[in-house]
Amino acid sequence: MKYKILLPTDFSKNAWYAITYALELYKKDFCDFYILNVFSATNHVIDSLLNMEPGNELYESAKLESENGLAKVLDMLAFKDYNNQRHHFKTISKFNNVVEAIKNTVEEKDIELIVMGTKGKTDSKKRIFGNVAVNVMENVRNCPVLVVPEGAKHHLPKEIVFPTSYKTHFKKRELNHLINLAKKCDAAIRILHVATEKRLTNKQINNKTLLEEYFKELPHTYHTLSHVDIPTAVNCFVESRASDMVAFINKKHSFFRNALSHPLVKKMGYNSKVPLLIMHDLRN
């Protein structure tokens, strides 16, 4: 099987780290890696729309800078003597809004996974995720997204945390990427229930039974934390166990912006070293 993986880059250190993480994660697999840079002439949207036409000096200058940057990424791979015969690289330079460019590339190239950094060139120390990462997690719903912090360990994950309230009926195909990744890496799944009630309802019990069926071929265990908000619970659980990855299904449009801007998460997790796998509700 050959994977098609999209690697967006703004040529930042964090973006490069995400690229090298993806290469390690899929080192034994046949992959086509598409390295995407989205360019504009200016940070001001209106100016870009007015001045960015092919042939225009601003457009051609920005495009050349983008193409040169992509060539440099390929040079960096060559310089680190990267010669995995299973991996092939293709570069894409696009003028567009970043989210729209990623959506379009996913459709055009039949991409199966997006791997990107948590933050770009600004690299704010006060925020867990940059605006671009949050916008991609929220709005690119036609493909799973793996967001990689700069401090993530370069090894295959052995423990993946899957937080759930058991209140939502998941479909197996929504979890396929998590299941396949866990099988590929021989990883265990830790199902974390963040409880707000003393006991599970019948609906929650039924949903838990479905998860048991979905994960039956994988090593998995169930855990519960009570009377604490989801971001704090996940961070505490991951840190206490030194877990390697967290996997979510994004069920509502604003989940990530609300949850990940939580002040306790900022306080505890802005130097998080754990990648986040975001899958999407296929009904949205």
Provide CB contacts within 8 A for 108, sequence distance 6+.
none
Last residue of a domain, one of 116, 148, 180: 148
Looking at the fold, whether 108 and 197 belong to one and the same domain comes out as no
Looking at the fold, whether 110 and 199 belong to one and the same domain comes out as no
Specify the DSSP element, H or E, that contains 35.
strand 30-39
Separation CA 130–CA 122 (nearest Å):
8
Q: Which two tokens stand for residue 100?
A: 């729209």
Looking at the fold, whether 75 and 134 belong to one and the same domain comes out as yes
Pairing of strands 145-148, 276-280: antiparallel
Provide CB contacts within 8 A for 224, sequence distance 6+.
192, 193, 194, 195
Looking at the fold, whether 6 and 135 belong to one and the same domain comes out as yes
Looking at the fold, whether 233 and 257 belong to one and the same domain comes out as yes
Q: What is the rounded radius of gyration, in angstroms, for the C-alpha atoms of the chain?
A: 20
Residue 21 maps to a domain: yes
Residue 272 pLDDT: 66
Residue 137 pLDDT: 82
Residue 261 pLDDT: 46
Residue 44 pLDDT: 55
Burial 245-264 (b: 16+ CB within 10 A, else e): bbbbbbeeeebbeeebebee
Residue 281 pLDDT: 76
Instruction: Check residue 262 and report its DSSP letter.
Output: -
What's the whole-model pTM score? 0.87
Separation CA 92–CA 34 (nearest Å):
7
Looking at the fold, whether 175 and 107 belong to one and the same domain comes out as no
Residue 154 maps to a domain: no
Looking at the fold, whether 9 and 58 belong to one and the same domain comes out as yes
Residue 37 maps to a domain: yes
Looking at the fold, whether 184 and 229 belong to one and the same domain comes out as yes
Domain of residue 190, residue span: 159-280
Q: What is the CATH number of the domain that holds 61?
A: 3.40.50.620
Q: Residue 189 forms beta bridges with which residues?
A: 160, 220
| 185, 177 Cβ separation under 8 angstroms | no
Residue 175 maps to a domain: yes
Looking at the fold, whether 57 and 129 belong to one and the same domain comes out as yes
Separation CA 215–CA 167 (nearest Å):
18
Last residue of a domain, one of 148, 177, 212: 148
Structure-token match 């916008």, residue found: 135
| 170, 140 Cβ separation under 8 angstroms | no
Pairing of strands 220-226, 2-8: unpaired
Residue 126 pLDDT: 44
Looking at the fold, whether 89 and 206 belong to one and the same domain comes out as no
Residue 231 pLDDT: 79
Provide block-wise average pLDDT over 10 residues at a time, the chain (284 residues).
94 93 94 94 55 74 93 91 90 92 96 88 51 82 90 88 89 92 96 89 94 95 89 87 90 52 40 82 64
Looking at the fold, whether 126 and 221 belong to one and the same domain comes out as no
Last residue of a domain, one of 103, 118, 148: 148
219: how many CB neighbours lie within 10 A of its CB? 13
Looking at the fold, whether 40 and 133 belong to one and the same domain comes out as yes
Residue 153 maps to a domain: no
Residue 35 pLDDT: 98
| 22, 78 Cβ separation under 8 angstroms | no
**Count of structural domains within the chain:** 2
C-alpha dihedral over 83, 20, 132, 178, to 10 degrees? 100
